């Protein structure tokens, strides 16, 4: 089956799962409504995001939308298992401000993949999703996860359960290994092909071109460091504090962008789409305003000289 049309910009829903801080149902709805009003029709989610909260909120929003009008992807590999002992604390270990009444259990087996997808569909209130990704197999045990998981999701595609299958990770090793199977339609590259750093250029993007696999480029703000015009030491990088050298590089990039009349988030979004193998960029948002700002940033233009200058200064790679 042909991979679904994703559009240039998709909405990631980790924030809707209370990533870092609580979000009200009303705010979550306003984020999704702003995306819809901007013409965004690709929504990416996962059980991992707030222990299912993001999936439930996305499903509630889409309940009255024509099914043929949007594309949804979710992820498999982590089953959510009730954990009554955790209900009295928050899921801080995974950065989500939700009660830890469930725990994540790794399972990339064919049975685990099917059970994980079925649970996601129940939370989403959907009969089917369009795309399913193996989620972070490198955080479990890469070789057995791929040996079991890739054939399992490929079988879902061949049986018509989903339209396309892929792998999502911030590990270039995992992404490259997934691409080399030749069985995946898409790779969701998280933070490894951004304005700040481009390790995916070494082998992952070339392998995708060779295999005719598309790239969904996610985490293009590097956990928030590139999300404001002036990078701050208070920003996050890789879900944690920003190392001084990384902050210095981000600020140097921001200075070059400003010299060309472009703010850093705008350049980050445009850079993430520069390679033709990239089919869409997925970004999250904590407010409706952020959705609208990023939508407008992608509608703007960026001078070609900016990319040349960043490369010549050794701040980016071609």
The residue from 20, 42, 49, 133 that is catalytic is 49
The string of DSSP codes covering 91-127 is EGGGTEEEE--EEEEE--SHHHHHHHHHHHHHHHT-S
Tally of CB atoms within 10 A around 16 = 29
pLDDT at 1: 40
49 given a catalytic annotation: yes
pLDDT at 3: 64
57 touches 27 (CB < 8 A): no
- Three-state DSSP state, 290: helix
- Which architecture characterizes domain 9-243+263-300 according to CATH? Alpha-Beta Barrel (3.20)
- Tens of pLDDT, residues 284-304: 999 999 999 999 999 999 999
Q: What is the DSSP letter of 19?
A: B
Indicate the domain borders of the chain. Answer: 9-243+263-300
133 touches 76 (CB < 8 A): yes
pLDDT at 247: 97
- pTM, two decimal places: 0.96
90 touches 100 (CB < 8 A): yes
Q: How far is CA 15 from the centre of its chain?
A: 11
- Identify which of 290, 212, 314, 301 has the alpha carbon closest to the alpha carbon of residue 261: 301
pLDDT at 19: 96
pLDDT at 302: 97
**Which parts of the chain sit beneath pLDDT 70?**
1-3
Q: What is the DSSP letter of 45?
A: -
- Three-state DSSP state, 272: coil
Structure-token pair, residue 207: 């392998």
pLDDT at 239: 87
Distances in Å between the Cα of 270 and the Cα atoms of 17, 114, 301 are 26, 36, 8
153 touches 134 (CB < 8 A): yes
Radius of gyration of the chain (CA): 19
pLDDT at 5: 87
């Amino acid at each position: 089956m042909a991979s679904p049309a994703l559009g240039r910009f998709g909405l990631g829903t980790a924030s809707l799962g209370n990533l870092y801080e609580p979000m009200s149902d009303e705010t979550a709805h306003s984020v999704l409504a702003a995306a819809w009003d901007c013409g965004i029709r690709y929504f990416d989610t996962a059980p991992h995001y707030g222990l299912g909260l993001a999936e439930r909120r996305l499903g509630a929003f889409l309940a009255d939308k024509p099914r043929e009008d949007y594309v949804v992807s979710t992820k498999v590999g982590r089953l959510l298992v009730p954990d009554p002992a955790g209900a009295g604390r928050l899921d801080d270990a995974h950065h989500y401000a939700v009660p830890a009444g469930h725990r994540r259990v790794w399972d990339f087996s064919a049975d685990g993949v099917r059970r994980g997808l079925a649970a996601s569909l129940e939370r989403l209130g959907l009969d089917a999703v369009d795309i399913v990704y193996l989620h972070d197999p490198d955080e479990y045990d890469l070789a057995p996860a791929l040996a079991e998981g890739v054939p399992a999701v490929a079988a879902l595609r061949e049986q018509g359960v989903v339209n396309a299958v892929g792998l999502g990770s911030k590990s270039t090793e995992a992404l490259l290994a997934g691409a080399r199977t030749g069985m995946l339609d898409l790779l969701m590259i998280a933070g490894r092909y951004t304005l700040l750093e481009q390790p995916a250029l070494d082998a992952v993007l070339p392998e995708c071109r060779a295999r005719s696999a598309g790239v969904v480029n996610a985490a293009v703000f590097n956990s928030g460091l590139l999300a404001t015009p002036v990078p701050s030491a208070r920003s996050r990088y890789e879900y944690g504090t920003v190392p001084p050298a990384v902050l210095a590089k981000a600020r140097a990039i921001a200075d070059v962008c400003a010299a060309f009349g472009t703010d850093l988030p705008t350049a980050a979004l445009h850079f993430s789409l520069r390679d033709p193998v990239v089919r869409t960029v997925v970004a999250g948002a904590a407010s409706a305003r952020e959705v609208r700002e990023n939508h407008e940033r992608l509608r703007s233009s960026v001078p070609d000289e900016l990319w040349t200058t960043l490369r010549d200064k050794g701040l980016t790679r071609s």
